[in-house]
Structures are given as C-alpha cells and as structure tokens.
Structure 1
Amino acid sequence: MMSHVNQTINFQTQHRQKVRRMNLFVSISAALAGLLFGLDIGVISGALPFITQHFSLTSHQQEWVVSSMMLGAAGGAICNGWVSHRLGRKYSLMVGAVLFILGSAGSAFATSVEFLLMSRVLLGVAVGIASYTAPLYLSEMATENVRGKMISLYQLMITFGIVLAFLSDTAFSYSGNWRAMLGILALPAVILFAMVIFLPNSPRWLAAKGLHVEAEEVLRMLRDTSEKARQELNEIRESLRMKQGGFALFRANKNVRRAVFLGMLLQGMQQFTGMNIIMYYAPQIFKMAGFQSTQEQMLATVIVGLTFMFATFIAVFTVDKSGRKPILKIGFAVMAFATLVLGWCLMKAGEGEISTGLSWVSVGMTMLCIGGYAMSAAPVVWILCSEIQPLKCRDFGITCSTTTNWVANMIIGATFLSLLGSIGAAGTFWLYTGFNLLFIVVTFLLVPETKGVTLEHIEKNLMAGKKLKDLGS
C-alpha cells in the first residue's frame, strides 16, 4: 500500500516537473519573438545616422526609413488575424520568423533607399505578426495566476532585444557599418524558427477548430492535474457556444464592440505616451542635450536600453500581485513628470544654456521616462488586450488593437522630426506630457483589473453588460 502511495507521489512530482519545463519552454520560445521585435526597434536608432550619410537622406526620408517598419507591422497585424485563425498561433510565429530573416537580409544588402524601404516594410510585417501572435499565444497557454508574468516576459525580451541592438550598434558605430547592424538580426530569427517547431498549438485555438481531444492533450501538458485540464476545457467549450464569431459577432454584439474599442484605445494610449520617439531618435535627443560625438550618444542610448530592460523586471514580479491598474496609473504619472522636465531641459539647450549638468539631467529624465513606460504601459497594455477579448472574437479584436498600435506607432515615427521643426523639442515633449495626464484619467474610468481572473470569467462579465472597469470583478 505504501509503495503504491509513493509511486503515485513520484508520478505527480515528475508530472509537475514536466509541466514546469513545458511552460518555461513555451514562455521562452514565444517571448523570443519579442526579442526580434526589440532588436528591430533598437537597431534603427544607431543605424539611422550612418544610413542618412550613406544615402544623403532628407529629414522626411529619415522619417520614412523609421516609420516604414510600422507601416509593414500594421499590414502584418491585419493579415495575421486571418493567418492566426486559419493556421494557428504556432505556424503564425514560424511565418513571422521566415519574413524576419528575409527582411533583415534585404535591409543589409540594400543598394538604394527604395530597396531599403521595401525591406523595412517586410521586416515590419514580421514584427506585426510577432507582436500580434506572441502575447495572444502566451495568454491562451498560461494559467490565470501567472498569465501576467508570462506576457511580461515577452515584454522583457523586447527590452533585452533593444539593449542587444544598442550594444551591437555601438560596436559597429566605430566603423560605421550600418549593413552589419541590420543584417545581424537574422540570426535570432533562425533560432526562433527552430524553437517554434517544437511548440504545441494553443488549446483554445484547437478547441475552436473542433479538435477537443488534441486541446485536452495540450492542457494536460501545461496544467498540474488532469482535473484542471478538463475543467479548463469545459470552460473553453462553454465560451465557444456563441454561434457567431469574428466581424459578424463584432457587428451584432455591442458588448464585443466595447471590448474591441477598449483594446484599440489602450494600444493608442501606449503609443502616445511618446516613448517610442525616444527609442527611435535617442541619438538625436542626446545630441540636442549636448552629447556631440556619436560614441557619446550611443553610450547614453545603451544606458537607456539597460534602464528599459531592468525596469521591466518590476512588471514581471508585480503585475500578478499588485495588479494591472495601479501599475498603469503610476507609470503614466512618472512619464508625465519626466517628459515635462525633459522638455524644459531641451528648451534650455535650445537657448544655448548647455552644460554637463543639464545634459545629464536630460539623460536622467529619459531614463525615468523609459523606466515608467517599461514597468507599466509597455507590458500591461499587451496583457490587457490579450485578456479582454471574447474567445470567438479574439482574433478579430486583437487584430484591431495590434493594428491600432502600429498605425499610432507609424504616425509618431513619421511626425516627430516635423513636430520638432514646428513646435520645437520642448513643445513636442510637453505635448506628450498632456497625453500622459489624460491617460491617468482614462485608466481610472475605463480600465478593468484582471489579475487572477480567468479569461472565461472576464468574457462572462463582458457579455453580461458589466462596465468595462468592472470586467475583472
């Protein structure tokens, strides 16, 4: 009898260890898509000055070299709604990896501005697919008590990619080899493709396709007990009973429209914090602050990237404990203060009052702004957008929100230099100060707290007509 009990305990222990290893492999593999995302965001800031010199780019052309990636990303997010629905999350990630390899190689060997722009658009399609699929896949694979942490790991990999890109840019900046800066991005894409081969399909996607046996098998691989797997599958089946799906459900159901529009609003808020302008144009910002040499500008940019990465750990370890909503409010407040002071520093620099102290205050405020973003809007918006959409409209809803992210991203990337020319550096950052203050109010009024709540329960509250801010109650 005792031997049988020991065998049972050993089997349960071994199963839990297998479950932990599988969840870790899923997290790392899907989050590797975030690494590619971050690499492409970070690499262009260091490469742009050398590309500008090589092709003699105007300010308008510089804006398009930066924002063409966002144009492709918006297209990739739109197309991936259909691809993800038809082929599943796993094969969407594989498609993204292949496109990333092609786009990186094309950028490295570009012989003209037009060829570079086309390659950047292709890279954007790959990033759009990754930014759509990875958080969705992670949200559907994770349990409610670690869902925020797993998706935050994706964001952490984005920041790690940015740091790697900045370090790589710094290393190649001494020779000015912008082709190597862009081409080296293909290596992690090859690794992603190889790892995704061994990933299981999402159980929610399998169930939506009527493959309930396969869905339960995957859930058994990811959950501690068979009872949890069966219970979760039953909840998934319950949420699939709605006859309509996708755009038809969006058009017919006002509650679904509320969720889709909230997702779009959240992604717009994330972008209009103004954070990506610091990522894309960091060397130019530091030049305005008084850092004259390319090496000084790149060193300051690396410091910013490290700040981004380490601040993301705050979200990883607090988002499932403190919740989504408090972190968002704190983050927006920090960014409002930092952009306010940064605008003042740049105003003084524009008046000729450049000093070492002022330069380092600018770097400090940039770091504070990055830190506030990395601990709040950067991961939390992706978490919320993957949580609030009902199952039968999830592909459509996340297509809308992710596309909004990249359209807003493109607008910011394409207008930053123009804004600098029209209202000045200080006015530009003060504009984003106003946006961040507004977003604090929106968070109070509309954003739900979803920590520790299953996706199916959030969906029930939505369909019952509860207020958006009460979806997690």
Structure 2
Amino acid sequence: MRLSLRSPESGSHPNRASRLIVGSAAAVGVIYGYDVGASAGALLFLPGDFGLTTAQAASFITILGVGQLIGALIAGRLINAIGRRGGMLLVTAAFGVFALTCALAPNLPVLDVSRLLLGVAIGISTVAAPVYVAECSPTTNRGGLVIVYQLANCIGIMLAYAAAYLLAPTESWRWILGVAAIPAIGVFWVLCTRMDTPRWYVMKGRHQHAEEALRKLDPKTDTAHALAELQAALDTQAAAGPRRRAETLRVLVHRPYLRALVFLVGLGAIMKLTGINALVYYKPLILQSMGFSGYTSLLLIPAGIQVVTAIATTFSALKVDRIGRRPLMLTGLAVMAVAHGLIALTYFTGVRTTSMQVLAILGFVLFQAGFGLGLGALIWVYASESLPGPLRAAGASITLTVDFGINLFIAQFFLTILDAVGGEFVFLGFVVITLVSWVFMWKLAPETKGRSLDGIKDYWENGGKWPESTDAKGAATKQAESI
C-alpha cells in the first residue's frame, strides 16, 4: 500500500497527532484574527487619545498591512529554513511581545513600529500555518483541516469585536490591542511540544526525526517505505525544479506553471479586491455612514455578523472534501456579488430608515456568508496545495504577498474613496469586481479534491486539465503524497 493511502494521508480521519497540529495552527489563526479585528475597535478610540488625523488613523491600519506584506515575502524561505513548526514558534512569540508593546506604546512612533513588527508575524503565519497543516493531514480530510485555520481567523475577529464592545465604556484601546498576548504565550508553549512535518525533516536530511513524526501521525505506517517515497519525491522535485528563489520564479513564469502563477496571483488579488478587509477594518465607520450609532450597533452587530462567517466556514470545512473546491468557491462569489448589490442599494436610496438599515445588515450578512463559504476558506486550501513540492511554499508566499500588497491600498485609501465617490459607487464597484472574479475562478481554479499534493503537477502539465487516465481516486493511489 502506498503512502498516499497510509500514514496520515491514508485514514479517513486524522489521528490525535494530526488534530493537535491542526489545533495549534487554529489557535495561531484565532490570535491573527483578533489582531486584525481589534484594529477596527481600537480605531474608534485611538484618534482621540493621540490626536490623529483621518490620514494618520488610516496609517494605523496600513502599517499592519506593510508588516503583513513583508512577512509574506519572507515566509516561504523562512519556513523552508527553520521549519514549519519553527516558523509557528517565531510567530507566536512575536504575537505576544508586540501585542504588549502596542498596548504600552507611549507615543505614535512606538505604536507604529510595534504594529509593523506584529504585521510581519501575521504575514509569516498566513503561509506557515496552512502549509504546516497541509503536510500533516490526510488526503481525504486535507481541505477541511486547512480551512479550520480560516475558521479560527473568523473566531478571532468575532472575539475582537466582542472585546471592543465590552471595553468600549472605558475607551481603552490599549486593552483591546494588548489582551492578544495572553493566548500567544499559551500557544507558544503548546507548539514547543509539537513536531515538525515529516517532509521538512526529510528535506533537511533528518530521517530519524522524520521516522518519529511518521509514527506519531500513523503508528501503522511502513516508515521505511514512507521515507523512501518522500525522499524519491524530493529528489524528483529537486531534479525537475530548482531550489533557489530566482530559479523558482523562472520556473513559475514559464509553461507549464505560468498558468498556476496567474491563478495564484489572481487568487491573492481577488481575496482583497472583493472587499473583505475594507469591511473588517472599517465596518464600524461604514455603519456610521449608514446612520447607525451607539456601541451596540457599531461593535456588537459586526461581532454577530462575524458569527455568520464562522458558520459558513464551518460548513465549507465539513463539505469541501465532498463537494469540492470549485463549487464552493463559485457559489460564495455569487452570494458576495448579490450582497454588495444590496449594500449599494441602501446607499443609492439615500434613506436612513429602519427598513433600509435592516437591508444593509442583510447585505453584510450575505457577504460574510459568501466569503466564509468560498474565498475566505479556500484561499488557504488553494495557496497550500496548488503547486507541488519545492514550489509549494513559494506559491503560498506569492498568493499572500499579492493579497497583502493590495491590502495596503485598501487600508490606506478606502475611507478616502468612500468619502469622495460615496458608498453607492464603492459597493457597485465591488459588484463588478466580484463578478469578474467569478469568471476568473471558473476559468482557472483547479479542482484538487482527493488529489495528492504532489500530483497537482499533472494538472498544470496537462494545460490546466486533469489527465483523462487518472481520476481523483487513481491520483491518490498512484502519487506519493506530500506529508
């Protein structure tokens, strides 16, 4: 029996070791989501405390995005050098330290530097965590387990809004930002007891550690055979694909992987251009522009709406390995387009009645449901499984780099654009972008359900189609699975 059907990839359910790894990555995702969501709550009180202008308030959001971009740029090489778990340890330590320095910042420069470094940690985590989970997950459950990380992000954002609401009477933005240090310390300790992935150990020639990791992931694994398959896969990838960054990029900009590069770049762009971070960062201010007032409306309603994202993401996690990636992605984008249309309609009417506010909330709910069902969940799946072997970390890094690069523009200029052209045209623009994104995904997104991680090369080498000689089940049995 081949490795793709044995070890963690073989079973229909992950064992305890796999669940612990997924749990650790999910905990990192909660902290990441909290740090992003806390920005929106803190933004209600920070400008008054430090006397910030609108541009400076936007920069408070943007500086975190700059750090995220830097982190995404270096993440691929970093986790290949120090390991998937090593990258996660670095991230959690940084989460704890810089959450505290943000909370204790005596002035704006110290706060900005702390936010920048916190953003770097977030950028690294968005590459390290999904790759870590993907390489320790069964083929039959891999998509759902990777989505758990996005579910954790949703929970983190929801907790951030809830914490901001509870702390709103004190107007304590320092507490809103600083409490993230507490779970970071706990997750760091837990990660110290975890292992790295068998694949990374083999990459570094640490075969004894790889054997121990394989046994923990599945005690029934034929470790000698599994190690031989991993080494053979790595040797094949080393011969077919270069290791240095410049050579890796050269492979990606030529056929057959140019199509994959276009897909991953587009995926990263779509993630932000369809509006998610504009809403996460500025939803309280958007609600104010719609006539909402009071902390219950500005903070508790967004927290409640975030629950919808968690529910949709949970559904996606449970069904992605049965329904498939493409149907969920396309359905989610269609729902998002409708949602943007409803929000634009409330602006076009110019009416601030209760019925219009209810329609606006319905639009936000539908947007979060569509996002959680498709893009929000599946970007992590696609980023971690759309390229084989040594190209995988680079591919994930490229997707997140584009994602965070566009995020800088959204963070800095969304409020200015909203004021200049009005909400009706901003959200009408989101409708158009989302529909274009639907067509893009329909044309280029692969269906990787049931396919081995390294078997994805067959898709790109066959011009963006799976070879007729193999189906999903056949691919799982014939390809050496990446662990």
TM-score, normalization by structure 2: 0.89
Quick one: which of 143, 146, 161 aligns to 2:141?
146
Structure-1 residue corresponding to 2:89: 94
- For residue 118 of structure 1, what is the amino acid of its counterpart? V
Structure-2 residue corresponding to 1:428: 426
Question: For 1:441 and 1:105, how far apart are their aligned partners in 2?
Answer: 44
Q: CA deviation at 1:239?
A: 4.2
Alignment deviations for residues 397-452 of structure 1 (CA, whole Å, 9 cap, x no partner): 22222211111222211121111122211111111111110011111111000011
Quick one: which of 408, 412, 415 aligns to 1:414?
412
Aligned 1:17-56 pairs, distance under 5 A: 20-56=15-51
Question: For 2:224 and 2:407, how far apart are their aligned partners in 1?
Answer: 39
SS in structure 2 of the partner of residue 225 of structure 1 = coil
Structure-2 residue corresponding to 1:249: 248
Structure-1 residue corresponding to 2:119: 124
Question: For 2:296 and 2:52, how far apart are their aligned partners in 1?
Answer: 21
Structure-2 residue corresponding to 1:169: 164
Is 2:14–2:141's contact at 8 Å kept on the other side of the alignment? no
Question: For 1:164 and 1:88, how far apart are their aligned partners in 2?
Answer: 30
Question: For 2:12 and 2:432, how far apart are their aligned partners in 1?
Answer: 49
SS in structure 1 of the partner of residue 274 of structure 2 = coil
- Unpaired stretches in structure 1, ≥5 consecutive residues: 1-11
Question: For 1:63 and 1:229, how far apart are their aligned partners in 2?
Answer: 55
Alignment deviations for residues 353-398 of structure 1 (CA, whole Å, 9 cap, x no partner): 2111111111111011011001110111110110012212222222
Structure-2 residue corresponding to 1:327: 328
1:317 aligns with 2:292: no
Question: For 1:406 and 1:165, how far apart are their aligned partners in 2?
Answer: 20
1:466 aligns with 2:462: yes
- Unpaired stretches in structure 2, ≥5 consecutive residues: 1-6, 473-483
- For residue 277 of structure 1, what is the amino acid of its counterpart? A
Structure-1 residue corresponding to 2:298: 297
- For residue 170 of structure 1, what is the amino acid of its counterpart? Y
Question: For 1:229 and 1:460, how far apart are their aligned partners in 2?
Answer: 26
Q: CA deviation at 1:113?
A: 2.1
SS in structure 2 of the partner of residue 389 of structure 1 = coil
Question: For 1:268 and 1:258, how far apart are their aligned partners in 2?
Answer: 15
Alignment deviations for residues 248-303 of structure 1 (CA, whole Å, 9 cap, x no partner): 13314623443333222211111111011111111111112221223321121111
Is 1:45–1:280's contact at 8 Å kept on the other side of the alignment? yes
SS in structure 2 of the partner of residue 312 of structure 1 = helix
Structure-1 residue corresponding to 2:56: 61
Once structures 1 and 2 are overlaid, which stretch shifts more, 378-387 or 254-263? 254-263
Question: For 2:278 and 2:385, how far apart are their aligned partners in 1?
Answer: 27
Structure-2 residue corresponding to 1:373: 371
Structure-2 residue corresponding to 1:387: 385
Question: For 2:101 and 2:430, how far apart are their aligned partners in 1?
Answer: 34
Is 1:43–1:182's contact at 8 Å kept on the other side of the alignment? yes
1:104 aligns with 2:99: yes
Structure-2 residue corresponding to 1:3: none
Structure-1 residue corresponding to 2:340: 339
- Runs of 4+ off more than 6 Å: 16-19
Question: For 1:19 and 1:375, how far apart are their aligned partners in 2?
Answer: 23
The change in CA–CA distance for 1:261 and 1:246 in structure 2 (over 3 A counts) is farther
Question: For 2:196 and 2:178, how far apart are their aligned partners in 1?
Answer: 31
Question: For 2:39 and 2:424, how far apart are their aligned partners in 1?
Answer: 23
Alignment deviations for residues 33-79 of structure 1 (CA, whole Å, 9 cap, x no partner): 11111101111111101001212222211211112111101111222
Structure-2 residue corresponding to 1:8: none
SS in structure 1 of the partner of residue 171 of structure 2 = coil
Question: For 1:49 and 1:409, how far apart are their aligned partners in 2?
Answer: 20
Q: CA deviation at 1:203?
A: 1.3
- For residue 59 of structure 2, what is the amino acid of its counterpart? W
Alignment deviations for residues 79-128 of structure 1 (CA, whole Å, 9 cap, x no partner): 22222111111111111111111211111112222222111111101111
Once structures 1 and 2 are overlaid, which stretch shifts more, 218-227 or 418-427? 218-227
Structure-1 residue corresponding to 2:261: 260
The change in CA–CA distance for 1:54 and 1:269 in structure 2 (over 3 A counts) is same
Question: For 1:18 and 1:282, how far apart are their aligned partners in 2?
Answer: 38
The change in CA–CA distance for 1:135 and 1:236 in structure 2 (over 3 A counts) is farther
Q: CA deviation at 1:246?
A: 4.0
Aligned 1:231-250 pairs, distance under 5 A: 231=226, 234=229, 237-241=232-236, 242-243=238-239, 244-247=242-245, 248-250=247-249
Structure-2 residue corresponding to 1:5: none
SS in structure 2 of the partner of residue 143 of structure 1 = coil
Question: For 2:53 and 2:175, how far apart are their aligned partners in 1?
Answer: 23
- For residue 467 of structure 1, what is the amino acid of its counterpart? G
SS in structure 2 of the partner of residue 174 of structure 1 = helix
Question: For 2:141 and 2:228, how far apart are their aligned partners in 1?
Answer: 18
Question: For 1:259 and 1:228, how far apart are their aligned partners in 2?
Answer: 32
Question: For 1:383 and 1:418, how far apart are their aligned partners in 2?
Answer: 33
Question: For 1:414 and 1:162, how far apart are their aligned partners in 2?
Answer: 20
Is 2:269–2:402's contact at 8 Å kept on the other side of the alignment? yes
Aligned residues: 454
Is 1:288–1:346's contact at 8 Å kept on the other side of the alignment? no
Q: CA deviation at 1:187?
A: 0.8
Question: For 1:233 and 1:268, how far apart are their aligned partners in 2?
Answer: 38
1:136 aligns with 2:131: yes
Question: For 1:232 and 1:370, how far apart are their aligned partners in 2?
Answer: 43
Alignment deviations for residues 299-323 of structure 1 (CA, whole Å, 9 cap, x no partner): 2111112122122111111111100
RMSD: 2.1
The change in CA–CA distance for 1:322 and 1:246 in structure 2 (over 3 A counts) is farther
The change in CA–CA distance for 1:312 and 1:277 in structure 2 (over 3 A counts) is same
Once structures 1 and 2 are overlaid, which stretch shifts more, 130-139 or 301-310? 301-310
